Amino acid sequence: MFDSVFKDIKYYLKFGDIITRLIIINVIIFFITALTNAFAPTFYHQVLPYLAVPSDISVLLYRPWTLITHGFIHDGLWHVIFNMLTLYWFGNIAGDLLNFRRILPVFLSGILFGALFFIASGYFNPSVGGYAVGASAGVMAIVFMAVMASPDYEISLILLGRVKIKYIGIVVLFLDLIGVAGQSNSGGHAAHIGGAIIGMLYVFGLRNGFDIFSSKASSPKTKKSAKRTLKVVHKKQPFSDKNSDSNSLQDQVDQILDKIKKDGYNSLSDVEKDILYKASNTEN
């Protein structure tokens, strides 16, 4: 049985998309740290400060790697489950709309800026202290990457039915803003806001023709060029307008992008979905 599990893990790490890989890596690390904490708690608590990001800058100067490593450590089963489920749901939305290659840099940037916001919050709220762990800031970056790309995209929630993701984003951000002023995990809420800002700014940049993580990024000259930066893809296959059948295909894609932005992906007709599928599978 375990041999089969290891083969599956190896397969998905090698051939899975970036969302699957991130989830597997986080879950594996969680199992390792949880088992270490259970059977060697003294050792675990000695090592943890070298993985979790500290609120004290003087400590951070000697452990700069913790700005990233803390994002792969979780302190409880529900903590990792909630983060990974959210990453799966919104990561696939963002990846389908904006290209899966953009997920990892945004996720890592969210973790980084979340850590910086956590540290900064300590200067305004004396209750913030100690260390922070968790991928929540990186996940929030992906959530708001999806929300900004297609605010009217709908998902089904238990008891609530179909809900547009822009309302989920508003509620989550509202709760974090309130949480920052509280005395319980205010630093964590500040980190969430830092991640959300990264997701929003990144998509804002794409709409204006600038991709900070791409060497091809440049300032837009026209409204149309800005739209072309925000490309739709089907799974992992990026769409490049230089290989489109004609300029008319790109015009149709631009119009469909506007429709997704306004009414969500589910508002598309079968013909429009076929056009996106054709465009997304055009070879570079």
List, for residues 211-221, the tens digit of each pLDDT value.
888 766 444 43
Please check whether residue 131 is in contact with residue 70, taking contact to mean a CB–CB distance below 8 angstroms. Answer: yes
What is the rounded CA–CA span in Å between residue 186 and residue 178?
A: 9
Residues spanned by CATH 1.20.1540.10 within the chain? Answer: 56-207
Question: CB atoms < 10 A from the CB of 99, how many?
Answer: 22
- Beta-carbon contacts of 249 under 8 Å, excluding residues fewer than 6 positions away, are 275, 278, 279
Instruction: Return the DSSP state at 164.
Output: E
Please check whether residue 88 is in contact with residue 166, taking contact to mean a CB–CB distance below 8 angstroms. Answer: no
The pLDDT of residue 214 is 78
Could you tell me the two tokens for 58? 């003087």
Helix orientation angle between 103-121 and 18-39, rounded to the nearest 10 degrees: 50
Most confident range (mean pLDDT) of 121-125, 128-132, 147-151, 220-224 is 147-151
Least confident window among 146-155, 175-184, 195-204: 175-184
Specify the pTM: 0.76
CATH number of 56-207: 1.20.1540.10
| Structure-model confidence comparison of residues 182 and 143, the more confident one | 143
